[in-house]
A and B are shown apart, each in its own frame.
Chain A
Amino acid sequence: MPSDRTSCEVACSHCGLPVPTGLIQPEAPSFCCAACEQVYAIIGSLGLDRYYVLRERLPGTRRRAVRRGREYAEFDDTTFARLHVRSLPSGARRIELYLEGVHCAACIWLVERLPRVLPGVLDARLDLGRARAVIDWDPEQVSLSMIARQLDGLGYPSHPFRGRDAALAAERERRTLWIRLAISGACAGNVMLISFALYGGLFHGIEPEYHRLLRCAALLVSIPALWWGAGGFFRNAASALRRGRLHIDLPVSVGILAGFGHGAWSVLTGGGEIYLDSVTMLIFLLLAGRLLERGQQRKAAEAGELLHSLSPTRATLIDGDGERSVLIEALLPGMRIRVRGGELIPADGTVRAGEGELDRSLMTGESRPVRVSTGDRVEAGATHLSGALDVEVEEVGEKTRLGRLLQSMEEIARRRAPVVRLADRLAGVFVAAVLLAALLTAVIVGRDSPSGAIDRALALLIVTCPCALALATPLAVAAALGRAARLGILIRGGDVLERLCKPGTIWFDKTGTLTRGRMERIAWEGSAELERAVAAVEDQVAHPIAVAFRRAVPGVLPIVTGISALPGGGVSGMVEGTSIVIGAPGAVVEMVGADTDHPLCRAAMAHAAAGRTPVLIAWAGSLAGLAAFGDPIRSDARAVVERWRARGWRVGLLSGDAPDVARAVGTHLGIPIERCLGGVTPEGKLAHIQGETAAGISTVMVGDGVNDAAALAAATVGIAIEGGAAAALRAADAFVTGRRLGAVADLLEGAHRTIATIRIGLGFSLAYNAVGAALAMSGLLHPLVAAVLMPLSSLTVVTLSFRARTFDPPRADLEDEIDGIGAVRGEVLPCR
């Protein structure tokens, strides 16, 4: 393992994360990476220093700055404008942008300062939870590309928001829920007031005329609550019944209808008691619970469409002799495109000219770069690392392998049947049971003393209140989701927690999940002087191996001249007058004509056999050094595996990387060898997970790449870890930000604690209601005492649910890879 712990004494002047020792500047602002330094300078030059004051004062995550440094020329394109820009009646333009790098409340301030620093921007509004900004600007004064460049300079690379339709639909649904809540709330309040008058009348007498009036009014007012408020429940229940499925709204609907039917019948026939106050209150509380839960779910669920926002917007088309830049929507099969180093491949196709190296880890999970040349297939979603490739496009957009994978993910997510929650089942049964008990009491006691029967039935109806029952679960869930979010775990909904409590098999992806997902220098043989010379050369190269080497060697470096690329992979140059060759063993050996029996050569082959990438260095024409690179296992991986096992789960490894690498990692973590599966394609992962779930085994999949996306959706619970394809995976059941693997185990333990809290709340509520009902039926409870006791039960359950410590801040011994909320130490990764 490389040493990546740095002292936490110096914090980056921009982002506040620790500065690697090599980059600490005495007596001056220090930065953890180049992007932070640039953003710091830009913020200072615009006079927006107040951002740092606010950042210290307001809570939020720490995150390294991101900068793309692009020109954003495509933002001025007419096609782009047609797709994403709206014209306002005033002549101004409006666009919705998805901003990368939004992480804390101070970001709101910084983004909304845009109109002051860039003339022509009329308004900027940031939605913090969704990282979406609405920008209004005057096209006469400023261009959209200038706005995007300014945002990029502030550390917020922007992308057009492409999932508008889905987002609009979700917004409409949310608004409808608010309106339903408002209607049922208003009705419940009024019915409650009318009922109070009726209860008062029962104690002190009421003229039959007013008695009838009030009961009719109560019935009338509760109709809108039933129609609009509970209408959604009925529709869901009916459509589920038609398809022969269970739905969470079925028992709820039955209970509500029974209560309302009974009330209506009583009013119309003039006999019996009405129970409409409790029915309307139940509708209101159920809706409030749904909204509470949704508020917490939103962040986790909504970003699914963001993958589209994060894929490249432009491609370079080769047209006749010239090149021109086109929008990605304009690409068609058969066209030729050119992909330069550092760019994403925009479509599936075949390489027609050029060669280079691809980082396919997003799709295949393979951590090592792959060389491609003429005739090789390339896939959308891979990153091209170096050189230029001419690619003939074969499939575009949703027809690419990447697109199909994401589609199958969405498909699976849609098909999954909802879990009928314990609390919802109980709430429905509850209403029916109480009505039956009240009826029994009235009938049995009524034979002896009619007035005593009314008192008892009334006390029963008042003391048995569904409030606690209907609210216990949503509150506990909302509180748990909120606490989890503060730990950087975004959970889709309460059912995820329920599903996590049934042990089964958990499958981990390897690259980026159990490992760090990027190259690190693992071994070095050679002198310190040579090390600095190599670092100086690698400093000029943008290859992941070069970056990893540069990262491992801090400090001032010698000057390099005459750098050129080796044909077989590598670079050569002159460092202070001495020639140096760095590259793949084969290329270097051929270049300097060394003996393959050289000890360094043999060591290089040993490293290669162990699944690492060796690099040989020739200094002044002879072999002098060796470095080996690999993807190191995260330090908390072992602890996480152990914590899941302690809860009765079987642990397995499902990797797209070579089988021997998968086995090596698995053995290191104590995963049985028969469950270390390597060389699995994304489709294979999906099939494997689907096979297990079909066999009735509860499966959890943990992954970070697009290659895991479909498997994540198919698993009983899919847990995504923030990585290369963060946006694509936000749709998973649980999403862990900040690359902290320990959170995966926190999630399991938090889920168990939450479910325990819910059970206690429900148990308490049921026990209270049972005791109260028994007392009321036996005539020991006066209706007035019952009315005082009712809110007490709600209060207890609500306090119990809300205060439960379901998701605690991480334990100190697991903190070493936190990159998030409240963390003192951060994972030290320079920006890419």
Chain B
Amino acid sequence: MSVIYVLLPVALFLSTVALLAFIRAVRTGQFDDLDTPPWRILTDDDDALSQVQETRSSASQRSEPR
């Protein structure tokens, strides 16, 4: 049973790591706009399928999605 002296701190440490990761995500603005990204997924997919536009707007340069 004395393993709990090791496991309890380990468990708490792991949850602290997860918490810090979450806080970092919040600080970098990943939770600022929760409405748009779900839609963006839907429209992005369609875009990949339609090759026509790609060729028509060939002159423009693409920026990498952040």
Contact = CB atoms under 8 A, between A and B. Distances in A.
Nearest to B56: A47
B53 A50 contact: yes
Contacts of A190: 11-12, 15
B1 A126 contact: no
Interface in B18-45: 18-19, 22-23, 26-27, 31-36, 39-40, 42-43
A764 interface: no
Interface string B53-66: 10011011111001
A186 B4 contact: no
Nearest to A190: B15
Interface string A310-328: 0000000000000000000
Interface stretch (A64-72, A102-110, A360-368): A102-110
Contact of B36 (A47, A126, A183): A126
Interface centre among A58, A108, A122 (most CB of B within 10 A): A108
A179 B23 CA distance: 6
Interface string A137-174: 00000000000000000000000000000000001001
B6 interface: no
B26 A182 contact: yes
Contact of B26 (A178, A186, A189): A178
Interface stretch (A111-119, A386-394, A433-441, A568-576): A111-119
A502 interface: no
B52 to A, nearest CB: 7
Given A115-B60, A190-B11, A171 B32 contact: yes
B57 A46 contact: yes
Interface size class of A (residues with CB under 8 A): 35 or more
Nearest to B23: A179
Given A108-B40, A109-B47, A119 B63 contact: no
Given A54-B43, A108-B36, A186 B15 contact: yes
A109 B26 CA distance: 25
B57 A116 contact: yes
Contacts of A113: 53, 57
A171 B26 CA distance: 11
A202 B59 CA distance: 73
Interface residues of B, number: 37
A175 B33 CA distance: 11
Contacts of B23: 179, 182
Contacts of A48: 53
Contact of B19 (A47, A128, A186): A186
Interface centre among B4, B36, B59 (most CB of A within 10 A): B36
B26 to A, nearest CB: 5
Contact of B31 (A47, A127, A175): A175
Given A105-B42, A115-B62, A50 B50 contact: yes
Contacts of B33: 127-130
Contacts of B66: 123, 125
Contacts of A54: 42-43, 46
A128 to B, nearest CB: 4
Interface string A175-191: 10011001100100110
A766 interface: no
A80 interface: no
A295 interface: yes
A265 interface: no
Given A108-B43, A116-B62, A210 B4 contact: yes
B63 A123 contact: yes
Q: Considering the complex of A and B, which 8 residue pairs feature the smallest CB-CB distances, nearest first? A: A47-B56, A109-B43, A105-B39, A116-B57, A129-B35, A116-B60, A123-B63, A128-B36
Interface of B: 1, 4-5, 8, 11-12, 15-16, 18-19, 22-23, 26-27, 31-36, 39-40, 42-43, 46-47, 50, 52-53, 56-57, 59-63, 66
Interface of A: 46-48, 50, 53-54, 58, 105-106, 108-109, 112-113, 115-119, 121-123, 125-130, 136, 171, 174-175, 178-179, 182-183, 186, 189-190, 193-194, 207, 210, 213, 217, 221, 295
16 contacts: A47-B52, A105-B39, A105-B42, A108-B36, A115-B61, A116-B53, A119-B59, A119-B61, A121-B60, A127-B33, A128-B33, A128-B36, A179-B26, A193-B11, A210-B1, A210-B4
Given A108-B36, A129-B35, A213-B5, 20 more contacts: A54-B43, A58-B43, A105-B39, A106-B43, A108-B40, A113-B53, A113-B57, A115-B60, A116-B60, A123-B63, A130-B33, A179-B23, A182-B22, A186-B16, A186-B18, A207-B1, A213-B8, A217-B8, A217-B12, A295-B34
